[in-house]
Amino acid sequence: MKKNKQSIIFDFGSKETKIIIGSSKDNHIFIRDYAIVPTPPEAVFNGRIYSKTEIGDLIKDYIKDKPIKKLNMMVSISSGDLILRNFDVPKMEESELRTAVKFELENLLPEPIDNYVMDFTILEEYKDTSDDGEEVSMLKVQTAALPKYIVEAYLLTFQKAGIGIDIVDIQSNSVAKLFGGRKKLIKDFEDEETIDKNIAIIDLGYQKTSITIMEYGKVFLNRTINIGGFEITKTIGDILDMDLAEAERLKVSQDYSGIESSAIEEIQNTIDRLNQEIIMEINKIIEYFISRSIQKKLDRVYLIGGGAKAKGIVELFEKELNIVTKLGNDYRNIEVNTDETKFSEDLLYLCNSLGILLREDK
């Protein structure tokens, strides 16, 4: 099986940066190398780079012994400032379609459209009937708009590292390629066609929680909730007077042996409150989706991100949402040169960027 040219992907989170070198062919992903390294403190927030120098140094440190000239350079961006919308428009040429999409977006964006980087994808072509009874060809189009200053910061940061970027993609696209379609790389429904399943992928991140809902294998919506695992980590650290790294380990393990019962109760009350806030917001988003979806249901929820490693989190979401919930790391058709158990754990962090490799899989 001949593989496509290898790519290197950078996904900068507020707490950790994920880097993957790999390729894809015939819906298989081949990972040559990957790393999960700490992001410099306060260097990235909500998908925006605040310290170009520190992130540039991180990039240079990783690529110094890599064959960069032989690799496609890709960046995955997750930002609450992303605006994702679907439109139905009459079928037209691509140049006319771009103008029509721009016109539709101008009514939605809080700032002039020239302040955004915009792209669109044709989700489907279908037939409709006009008011005078004639059959009309229509397009369902999904548009994405991201503030230009966010994208420009990435371009300048990589310039500081002495390299250019070939592809910038948004993480909801990556997740859609990994979880959606008839040949999902995440194992579930594997004895059935998956294209007609509606699924939600919830990324429990450090500073924010994001949810991507897919209908018929396509992204229906992507939303961000400004609550993440950091609030829990900070609370544990404040109550027990420990640093954030130690508090993070305690949050994941929930091993409270040797800690006073009053402190444990305070920590647990905070964790319960924050989880309920996240679940309440997710429930609202799911209800919105169900009210507008064709099938009026959501079949499955997948949890990814660092927060998905917390003990009991899958069971909590399944109980509160009343929807079958799984970790999004039971993979297939992914080859990697490392221990499979370790990679399965790390995949919870890599999901947001791994699917970008599939855009080169023609």
**Which burial class, exposed, middle or buried, applies to 161 when counting CB atoms under 10 A from its CB (0-12, 13-18, 19+)?**
buried
Task: Measure the CA–CA gap between 83 and 81, rounded to whole angstroms.
Answer: 6
Task: Note whether 262 and 212 are same-domain residues.
Answer: yes
Task: Measure the CA–CA gap between 71 and 56, rounded to whole angstroms.
Answer: 18
Task: Note whether 107 and 216 are same-domain residues.
Answer: no
Number of compact structural domains in the chain: 2
Determine, yes or no, domain membership for 361: no
Determine, yes or no, domain membership for 233: yes
- Percent of the chain residues topping a pLDDT of 70: 94
**Which burial class, exposed, middle or buried, applies to 338 when counting CB atoms under 10 A from its CB (0-12, 13-18, 19+)?**
exposed
For 242, the domain range is: 187-328
Determine, yes or no, domain membership for 41: no
Determine, yes or no, domain membership for 74: no
CB-based contacts of 265, cutoff 8 Å, min separation 6: none
- Of 18, 1, 26, the C-alpha closest to 360 is 26
Residues pairing with 147 in the sheet = 116
- Each residue's pLDDT, cut to its tens digit, for the chain (362 residues) gives 455 689 999 999 999 999 999 998 888 899 999 999 999 999 999 899 999 999 999 999 999 988 888 899 999 998 889 988 888 889 998 889 999 988 888 888 889 999 999 988 888 888 888 778 888 899 989 899 999 999 999 999 999 899 999 999 988 888 888 887 555 666 676 655 556 789 999 999 988 999 999 988 888 899 999 999 899 899 899 999 999 888 888 887 778 888 899 988 998 898 899 999 999 999 999 999 999 888 889 999 999 998 898 888 999 999 999 999 999 988 788 888 888 888 888 999 998 888 888 865 54
Last residue in a domain, options 147, 169, 201: 147
Task: Measure the CA–CA gap between 187 and 326, rounded to whole angstroms.
Answer: 10
Determine, yes or no, domain membership for 2: no
The CATH number assigned to the domain holding 117 equals 3.30.1490.300
Task: Note whether 131 and 200 are same-domain residues.
Answer: no
Give the three-class secondary structure for 36: strand
Task: Note whether 126 and 256 are same-domain residues.
Answer: no
Task: Measure the CA–CA gap between 132 and 118, rounded to whole angstroms.
Answer: 34
Determine, yes or no, domain membership for 195: yes
Task: Note whether 124 and 206 are same-domain residues.
Answer: no
CA torsion angle 116 285 75 86 (round to 10):
-50
Task: Note whether 126 and 202 are same-domain residues.
Answer: no
- Of 117, 119, 128, 116, the C-alpha closest to 89 is 128
Determine, yes or no, domain membership for 220: yes
- Output the pLDDT for position 279: 96
> What's the pTM value of the predicted model, to 2 decimals?
0.88
Task: Note whether 193 and 318 are same-domain residues.
Answer: yes
Q: Which residue in the block uniquely carries the two structure tokens 């809902």? A: 213
Determine, yes or no, domain membership for 88: yes
